[in-house]
Amino acid sequence: MRIIKLLVVSLVILVLVITALSFIIPSNIRISRTVRIQANKEAVMLQLKDPVKWKKWYPGADSVSFLSDSGIVNGLLFHSRPDYSLLISDIRDNEVVALIERGNNKEKIILTWRVYPENNLENVTLQWYMDFHLKWYPWQKFSALAYDKYYGSQMDAGLLRLRNELETK
């Protein structure tokens, strides 16, 4: 009986310590990648604001369906994960914002591509960042520690494909 009581108390203390440690990890995480592209701002924005063109450079978009509203394509639906969709939510002069909705609780990830023209107007710097808004759950916060490695490598690959697509034209 004493061993069982010790195990239960130890388990409760361990759960409390792990939960307390998870509060150190921020609830809002941003992963950012940047690439310099030899193309003008308009050419880059044409690639970013049209989900049909994402098939050429967005990671995993080569086998997706398009989501449309009133005949206008505004997002992607991934077949490998039926609960995973990507929709454009806002297009500005030098920025495209999209939302990834995943899971039954519609957890959202905000993707933003921002174009910074350089002085000669034939080169731009493209920044792609992903914003994650986490709940307080310890398993969610600890899993977020691996987001940069997982999503960052995909972002790097997508930006390189986009740069190659634009610079070979």
| Least confident piece of the model among 5-9, 52-56, 118-122 | 118-122
**Residue 166 DSSP SS3:** helix
Which positions ≥6 away from 141 have C-beta within 8 Å? 22, 25, 27, 134
DSSP class of residue 169 equals: -
| Residue found under tokens 């995943």 | 102
DSSP 70-81: TTEEEEEEESSS
Which among 54, 124, 57 is positioned nearest to 93, based on CA atoms?
A: 124
Kindly report the average pLDDT of the chain as a whole number.
86
- Domains in the chain, please, with CATH? 28-167 (3.30.530.20)
Q: The whole model's pTM is what?
A: 0.81
- 160: number of CA atoms within 13 Å, CB side? 6
Bridge partners of residue 31, in order along the sequence = 130
Tell me the per-residue pLDDT of 69-126, one tens digit each, with 9 for 90 and over.
Answer: 777 787 887 766 666 788 888 999 999 999 988 766 667 889 999 999 988 778 999 9
Average pLDDT value for residue range 48-75? 84
Average pLDDT value for residue range 42-71? 86
